[in-house]
Chain A
Amino acid sequence: MKKKGIVLPLVVWCVMTLITLLPIWWLFVVSMRTRVQLFGRPSLLLDGFYWGNYVEVLENEEFRFYLWNSIIVATSNCLIVTVLAFLATFALSRYKLAGEDSLFFWLITNRMAPAAVFLLPLFLLYTQVFRLGDFQLFDTRIGLILLYCVFNLPFAIWLLKGIMDGIPKELDEAAMIDGASTFQVLTRVVMPLAKPGLAVTAILTWMFAWNEYLFAATLTSVEARTITTGLAEFVTVTGTNWGELAALSMLTLAPALIFLGFVQRHIVAGLTFGAVKE
Chain B
Amino acid sequence: MRSPVTGWLFLAPTILVLTVFGFVPFIYVAFVGFFDWNPFAANPDLVFAGVNNYRRLVFDNQFLRSIGLTLQFTFWVVLSQLIIGYLLAQLFMRDFPLKGLFRTIHTLPLLVAPIAVGAAWRLLCVPGLGPLPYYLNRWFGIDFRLGSFEHQAFITTVVMDIWHWTPLVTLTLLAGLSAMPKEPFESAQVDGANRWQIFWHIMLPLLKPVLITTTFIRLMDALRTVDEVWMLTGGGPGTATRYIGLHIWRVVFPQTDYGYGAAMSLMTLYLTIMLCWFLYVGLVARKPRAS
Contact = CB atoms under 8 A, between A and B. Distances in A.
Contacts of B116: 27, 228, 231, 249, 252-253
Chain B interface size band reads 35 or more
Contacts of B120: 23-24, 26-27, 249
B172 A41 contact: no
B17 A146 contact: yes
Interface string A202-232: 0000010011011000100000000010011
Given A20-B106, A114-B269, A256 B91 contact: no
A260 B107 contact: yes
A95 B2 contact: yes
A129 B285 CA distance: 42
Contacts, number: 283
Contacts of A207: 111
B21 A267 contact: no
A167 B231 CA distance: 44
A233 to B, nearest CB: 11
Contacts of A24: 108, 112, 120
Interface stretch (A59-67, A115-123, A193-201): A115-123
B217 A41 contact: no
B138 to A, nearest CB: 9
A153 interface: yes
B287 interface: no
Given A119-B249, A120-B248, A277-B175, A41 B134 contact: yes
B250 to A, nearest CB: 10
A263 interface: yes
B72 interface: no
B251 to A, nearest CB: 11
B26 A268 contact: no
A109 to B, nearest CB: 9
B248 A119 contact: yes
Given A23-B163, A119-B253, A17 B14 contact: no
Interface string B157-190: 0000001000110011001101000100110000
B83 interface: no
A260 B111 contact: yes
Contacts of B24: 125
Contacts of A117: 29, 248, 265-266, 268-269
The listed residue with most A CB atoms (<10 A of its CB), out of B25, B217, B231, B248, is B25
A95 to B, nearest CB: 3
A41 B128 CA distance: 8
B113 A260 contact: no
Interface in B187-244: 210, 213-214, 217, 220, 223-224, 226-227, 230-231, 244
Contacts of B17: 84, 146, 149-150, 153
A112 interface: yes
Nearest to A173: B1
B105 A21 contact: yes
A72 to B, nearest CB: 17
Interface in B129-147: 129-131, 134
Given A6-B95, A117-B29, A256-B112, A87 B220 contact: no
A150 B97 CA distance: 42
Contacts of A112: 220
Secondary structure at chain A's binding surface: helix, strand, loop or mixed?
helix
B64 to A, nearest CB: 17
A216 to B, nearest CB: 10
A249 B154 CA distance: 23
A121 B29 contact: yes
Nearest to B92: A9
A246 interface: yes
B107 A267 contact: yes
A20 B10 CA distance: 43
A237 interface: no
Contacts of A176: 1
A1 B203 CA distance: 14
B121 A118 contact: no
B110 A271 contact: yes
B11 A91 contact: yes
B288 interface: no
A41 B129 CA distance: 8
Contacts of B110: 267, 271
Contacts of B121: 23
Given A88-B11, A121-B28, 15 more contacts: A8-B91, A17-B105, A17-B106, A27-B119, A117-B268, A120-B32, A214-B227, A231-B119, A235-B231, A249-B119, A252-B113, A256-B111, A267-B107, A272-B168, A275-B213
12 contacts: A6-B94, A21-B105, A42-B134, A87-B13, A116-B244, A120-B248, A120-B261, A121-B28, A213-B115, A214-B249, A232-B231, A264-B103
